């Protein structure tokens, strides 16, 4: 699966499954797409969602995440524009997943 397709599917997955489940917002990190700095949230890892999603949904989420980022990348989402983001929490920075 290419990244553009995975980005579209993860947006739909987030909406359909009410992700992220935690309501913690990272203030001060600006979305590179819409410019909002009060809507960035961390997406849970598949391990954190184990038991919360059906097995088939969890496997689909793993595939989507694997198509977008490797394990050492922090994946977030802007809850305003629903774009998935690569987060660097040490630098308070959000970057697009497509270069």
What range does the domain containing 89 cover? 3-96
Residue 46: exposure state from Cβ atoms within 10 A (0-12, 13-18, ≥19)? middle
Average pLDDT, the chain: 93
Long-range contacts of 56-62 (CB under 8 A, 24+ apart): 57/13, 57/17, 60/13, 61/13, 61/17
Question: pTM for the complete prediction?
Answer: 0.88
pLDDT at 28 over 80: yes
What's the pLDDT at 98? 84
Q: How many domains does the chain have?
A: 1
Phi/psi for 43 (5° steps) reads: -85, 135
Percent of the chain at pLDDT above 70?
99
62-93, pLDDT tens digit by residue? Answer: 999 999 998 888 999 999 999 999 999 999 99
Nearest to 53 by CA among 83, 21, 75, 9: 21
């Amino acid at each position: 699966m290419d990244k553009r397709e995975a980005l579209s599917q993860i947006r739909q997955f987030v909406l359909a499954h009410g992700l992220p489940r935690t309501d913690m917002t990272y203030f001060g990190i600006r979305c590179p797409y819409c410019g909002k700095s009060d809507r960035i949230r961390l997406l849970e890892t598949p391990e954190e969602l184990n038991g919360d999603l059906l097995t088939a949904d969890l496997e689909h989420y793993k595939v989507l995440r694997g198509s977008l980022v490797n394990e050492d990348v922090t994946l977030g989402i802007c809850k305003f524009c629903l774009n998935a983001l690569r987060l660097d929490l040490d630098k308070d920075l959000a970057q697009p997943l497509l270069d």
